Amino acid sequence: MPQSGTAVSVEAIDDAFQTKMLDMVKQNGRAEQVVGWYHSHPGFGCWLSSVDMNTQQSFEALHPRAVAVVVDPIQSVKGKVVIDAFRLINPQTMMLGHEPRQTTSNLGHLNKPSIQGLIHGLNRHYYSIAVDFRRNELEEKMLLSLRQKKKLTDGLMLKPFDAHSKTNEQTIQEMSNLAMQYITAMQEEYEEEDEPEKLAIAKVGRKDAKKHLEQLVSNLMSSNIGQTFGAMLDTVVF
Protein backbone atom coordinates (compact mmCIF):
# COMPACT_ATOMS: atom_id res chain seq x y z
CA MET A 1 0.00 0.00 0.00
CA PRO A 2 1.40 3.47 -0.88
CA GLN A 3 2.30 5.24 2.35
CA SER A 4 3.64 8.56 3.56
CA GLY A 5 6.08 8.36 6.46
CA THR A 6 7.83 10.69 8.88
CA ALA A 7 10.20 10.04 11.77
CA VAL A 8 7.30 9.29 14.11
CA SER A 9 4.36 8.05 12.00
CA VAL A 10 3.39 6.27 8.80
CA GLU A 11 -0.01 6.64 7.20
CA ALA A 12 -1.67 5.34 4.04
CA ILE A 13 -2.24 7.83 1.23
CA ASP A 14 -4.30 5.64 -1.12
CA ASP A 15 -6.94 3.49 0.58
CA ALA A 16 -8.40 2.37 -2.76
CA PHE A 17 -5.10 0.81 -3.83
CA GLN A 18 -5.87 -2.53 -2.15
CA THR A 19 -9.28 -2.84 -3.78
CA LYS A 20 -7.84 -2.13 -7.24
CA MET A 21 -5.01 -4.58 -6.64
CA LEU A 22 -7.39 -7.36 -5.56
CA ASP A 23 -9.54 -6.76 -8.63
CA MET A 24 -6.51 -7.10 -10.89
CA VAL A 25 -5.40 -10.25 -9.05
CA LYS A 26 -8.84 -11.82 -9.57
CA GLN A 27 -8.68 -11.00 -13.28
CA ASN A 28 -5.54 -13.13 -13.47
CA GLY A 29 -7.33 -16.09 -11.90
CA ARG A 30 -5.70 -15.82 -8.49
CA ALA A 31 -7.83 -16.03 -5.35
CA GLU A 32 -5.44 -14.44 -2.84
CA GLN A 33 -6.84 -12.22 -0.10
CA VAL A 34 -5.19 -9.53 1.98
CA VAL A 35 -4.67 -11.14 5.39
CA GLY A 36 -3.08 -8.17 7.13
CA TRP A 37 -0.10 -5.87 7.31
CA TYR A 38 2.96 -5.34 9.47
CA HIS A 39 5.22 -2.52 10.57
CA SER A 40 7.87 -1.86 13.20
CA HIS A 41 8.13 0.28 16.33
CA PRO A 42 11.92 0.44 16.92
CA GLY A 43 12.41 0.68 20.67
CA PHE A 44 8.80 1.68 21.44
CA GLY A 45 7.20 -1.73 22.06
CA CYS A 46 4.20 -3.32 20.33
CA TRP A 47 0.95 -1.33 20.22
CA LEU A 48 -1.21 0.54 17.70
CA SER A 49 -1.31 4.31 17.40
CA SER A 50 -4.37 6.21 16.17
CA VAL A 51 -2.89 6.26 12.66
CA ASP A 52 -2.23 2.51 12.86
CA MET A 53 -5.83 1.91 13.95
CA ASN A 54 -7.11 3.88 10.94
CA THR A 55 -4.90 1.79 8.66
CA GLN A 56 -6.11 -1.42 10.31
CA GLN A 57 -9.70 -0.27 9.87
CA SER A 58 -9.17 0.01 6.11
CA PHE A 59 -7.72 -3.52 6.07
CA GLU A 60 -10.62 -4.94 8.09
CA ALA A 61 -13.05 -3.28 5.70
CA LEU A 62 -11.67 -5.58 2.99
CA HIS A 63 -11.33 -8.64 5.21
CA PRO A 64 -12.84 -8.74 8.73
CA ARG A 65 -10.13 -11.10 9.99
CA ALA A 66 -7.17 -9.01 8.80
CA VAL A 67 -4.34 -8.77 11.32
CA ALA A 68 -1.98 -5.93 12.23
CA VAL A 69 1.46 -7.27 13.18
CA VAL A 70 3.92 -5.05 15.06
CA VAL A 71 7.61 -5.89 15.58
CA ASP A 72 10.16 -4.12 17.78
CA PRO A 73 13.59 -4.84 16.20
CA ILE A 74 15.52 -2.90 18.86
CA GLN A 75 14.21 -4.90 21.82
CA SER A 76 14.44 -8.12 19.78
CA VAL A 77 18.24 -7.75 19.69
CA LYS A 78 18.31 -8.90 23.33
CA GLY A 79 17.53 -12.43 22.12
CA LYS A 80 13.73 -12.62 22.48
CA VAL A 81 11.66 -11.67 19.47
CA VAL A 82 9.30 -8.85 20.49
CA ILE A 83 6.26 -9.26 18.24
CA ASP A 84 2.50 -8.91 18.66
CA ALA A 85 -0.63 -9.07 16.51
CA PHE A 86 -3.81 -7.03 16.90
CA ARG A 87 -7.38 -6.68 15.65
CA LEU A 88 -9.74 -3.80 16.28
CA ILE A 89 -12.66 -4.01 18.71
CA ASN A 90 -16.03 -3.11 17.21
CA PRO A 91 -17.72 -0.56 19.54
CA GLN A 92 -21.16 -1.99 18.72
CA THR A 93 -20.03 -5.45 19.83
CA MET A 94 -18.85 -4.00 23.14
CA MET A 95 -22.18 -2.23 23.66
CA LEU A 96 -24.06 -5.51 23.13
CA GLY A 97 -21.86 -7.23 25.69
CA HIS A 98 -20.38 -9.75 23.25
CA GLU A 99 -16.81 -11.00 23.42
CA PRO A 100 -14.87 -9.08 20.73
CA ARG A 101 -11.90 -11.43 20.58
CA GLN A 102 -11.93 -13.85 17.66
CA THR A 103 -9.54 -16.78 17.64
CA THR A 104 -9.47 -20.15 15.89
CA SER A 105 -6.40 -21.63 17.57
CA ASN A 106 -4.81 -22.00 20.98
CA LEU A 107 -1.26 -22.14 19.63
CA GLY A 108 1.21 -19.54 20.81
CA HIS A 109 0.89 -17.32 23.82
CA LEU A 110 -0.63 -13.97 24.73
CA ASN A 111 1.79 -11.21 25.62
CA LYS A 112 1.35 -9.43 28.93
CA PRO A 113 -0.11 -5.97 28.19
CA SER A 114 2.47 -3.24 28.59
CA ILE A 115 1.64 0.06 30.27
CA GLN A 116 2.38 1.87 27.02
CA GLY A 117 -0.01 -0.43 25.14
CA LEU A 118 -2.78 0.11 27.68
CA ILE A 119 -2.29 3.88 27.42
CA HIS A 120 -2.68 3.66 23.63
CA GLY A 121 -6.00 1.80 23.81
CA LEU A 122 -5.11 -1.89 24.16
CA ASN A 123 -8.19 -3.92 25.25
CA ARG A 124 -10.33 -0.82 24.61
CA HIS A 125 -9.94 -0.10 20.89
CA TYR A 126 -8.05 -3.23 19.84
CA TYR A 127 -7.05 -6.58 21.32
CA SER A 128 -3.98 -8.80 21.16
CA ILE A 129 -3.88 -12.20 19.45
CA ALA A 130 -1.82 -15.23 20.45
CA VAL A 131 1.37 -15.33 18.37
CA ASP A 132 3.34 -18.42 17.40
CA PHE A 133 5.98 -18.75 14.70
CA ARG A 134 8.09 -21.66 13.52
CA ARG A 135 11.86 -21.56 13.63
CA ASN A 136 14.26 -23.91 11.93
CA GLU A 137 17.51 -25.14 13.48
CA LEU A 138 19.66 -22.36 12.05
CA GLU A 139 17.26 -19.66 13.28
CA GLU A 140 17.26 -21.22 16.77
CA LYS A 141 21.07 -21.12 16.85
CA MET A 142 21.09 -17.49 15.70
CA LEU A 143 18.64 -16.42 18.42
CA LEU A 144 20.51 -18.37 21.11
CA SER A 145 23.79 -16.77 20.08
CA LEU A 146 22.29 -13.33 20.69
CA ARG A 147 21.67 -14.22 24.33
CA GLN A 148 25.31 -15.04 25.04
CA LYS A 149 26.39 -11.82 26.70
CA LYS A 150 30.14 -11.31 26.98
CA LYS A 151 31.63 -10.39 30.32
CA LEU A 152 34.11 -7.58 30.87
CA THR A 153 36.81 -10.08 31.82
CA ASP A 154 36.50 -11.99 28.52
CA GLY A 155 38.71 -9.42 26.83
CA LEU A 156 41.50 -10.04 29.36
CA MET A 157 41.67 -13.82 28.87
CA LEU A 158 45.04 -14.91 27.49
CA LYS A 159 45.28 -17.15 24.46
CA PRO A 160 47.89 -19.96 24.42
CA PHE A 161 51.17 -18.29 23.49
CA ASP A 162 52.09 -20.86 20.82
CA ALA A 163 48.69 -20.47 19.13
CA HIS A 164 48.90 -16.67 19.40
CA SER A 165 52.41 -16.66 17.89
CA LYS A 166 51.31 -18.91 15.02
CA THR A 167 48.32 -16.65 14.31
CA ASN A 168 50.63 -13.60 14.22
CA GLU A 169 52.94 -15.31 11.72
CA GLN A 170 50.05 -16.27 9.44
CA THR A 171 48.58 -12.76 9.63
CA ILE A 172 51.91 -11.08 8.84
CA GLN A 173 52.46 -13.41 5.88
CA GLU A 174 48.99 -12.58 4.56
CA MET A 175 49.66 -8.86 5.09
CA SER A 176 52.89 -9.20 3.08
CA ASN A 177 51.00 -10.79 0.18
CA LEU A 178 48.31 -8.11 0.31
CA ALA A 179 50.95 -5.37 0.35
CA MET A 180 52.48 -6.79 -2.85
CA GLN A 181 49.01 -6.93 -4.45
CA TYR A 182 48.35 -3.34 -3.42
CA ILE A 183 51.69 -2.17 -4.91
CA THR A 184 50.86 -3.97 -8.17
CA ALA A 185 47.40 -2.37 -8.25
CA MET A 186 48.89 1.10 -7.69
CA GLN A 187 51.36 0.55 -10.54
CA GLU A 188 48.55 -0.51 -12.89
CA GLU A 189 46.51 2.52 -11.85
CA TYR A 190 49.47 4.81 -12.59
CA GLU A 191 50.11 3.21 -15.99
CA GLU A 192 46.44 3.35 -17.06
CA GLU A 193 45.71 6.77 -15.58
CA ASP A 194 44.52 8.09 -18.96
CA GLU A 195 42.00 5.25 -19.42
CA PRO A 196 39.69 5.28 -16.36
CA GLU A 197 37.05 3.06 -18.00
CA LYS A 198 39.58 0.34 -18.77
CA LEU A 199 40.91 0.59 -15.22
CA ALA A 200 37.42 0.26 -13.73
CA ILE A 201 36.74 -2.84 -15.84
CA ALA A 202 40.07 -4.36 -14.78
CA LYS A 203 39.14 -3.96 -11.08
CA VAL A 204 35.87 -5.90 -11.44
CA GLY A 205 35.99 -9.14 -9.45
CA ARG A 206 39.35 -8.40 -7.86
CA LYS A 207 40.03 -8.40 -4.14
CA ASP A 208 40.42 -4.91 -2.69
CA ALA A 209 43.90 -5.37 -1.23
CA LYS A 210 43.86 -2.03 0.61
CA LYS A 211 40.65 -2.74 2.55
CA HIS A 212 41.74 -6.27 3.45
CA LEU A 213 45.13 -4.96 4.56
CA GLU A 214 43.53 -2.31 6.79
CA GLN A 215 41.27 -4.94 8.36
CA LEU A 216 44.16 -7.30 9.08
CA VAL A 217 46.24 -4.49 10.62
CA SER A 218 43.35 -3.50 12.89
CA ASN A 219 42.70 -7.09 13.99
CA LEU A 220 46.40 -7.76 14.57
CA MET A 221 46.84 -4.64 16.70
CA SER A 222 43.72 -5.35 18.78
CA SER A 223 44.76 -8.96 19.37
CA ASN A 224 48.31 -8.11 20.41
CA ILE A 225 47.30 -5.17 22.60
CA GLY A 226 44.79 -7.36 24.44
CA GLN A 227 47.29 -10.20 24.81
CA THR A 228 50.06 -7.89 26.07
CA PHE A 229 47.77 -6.05 28.48
CA GLY A 230 46.42 -9.33 29.86
CA ALA A 231 49.94 -10.73 30.36
CA MET A 232 51.09 -7.56 32.17
CA LEU A 233 47.99 -7.61 34.38
CA ASP A 234 48.52 -11.27 35.27
CA THR A 235 52.16 -10.53 36.13
CA VAL A 236 51.17 -7.74 38.53
CA VAL A 237 48.24 -9.58 40.13
CA PHE A 238 49.69 -13.07 40.43
Q: Is the pLDDT of residue 223 over 70?
A: yes
Global model pTM greater than 0.75: no
Report how far residue 72's alpha carbon sits from residue 76's, in angstroms, rounded to the nearest whole number: 6
Taking residues 131-156, what's their average pLDDT?
A: 72
Q: Using alpha carbons, select from 189, 207, 209 the residue that is nearest to residue 198.
A: 189
**Confidence bin at 210 (pLDDT 50/70/90):** confident
Taking residues 204-221, what's their average pLDDT?
A: 85
Q: Is the pLDDT of residue 1 over 70?
A: no
What CATH number has the domain spanning 33-133?
A: 3.40.140.10
> Is 66 within 8 Å of 126 (Cβ atoms)?
no
Query: Greater confidence, 213 or 22?
Result: 213
pLDDT tens digit string along 11-46? Answer: 665 667 777 888 888 888 887 788 888 888 888 888
Taking residues 90-110, what's their average pLDDT?
A: 70
> Is 47 within 8 Å of 70 (Cβ atoms)?
yes
> Is 122 within 8 Å of 128 (Cβ atoms)?
yes
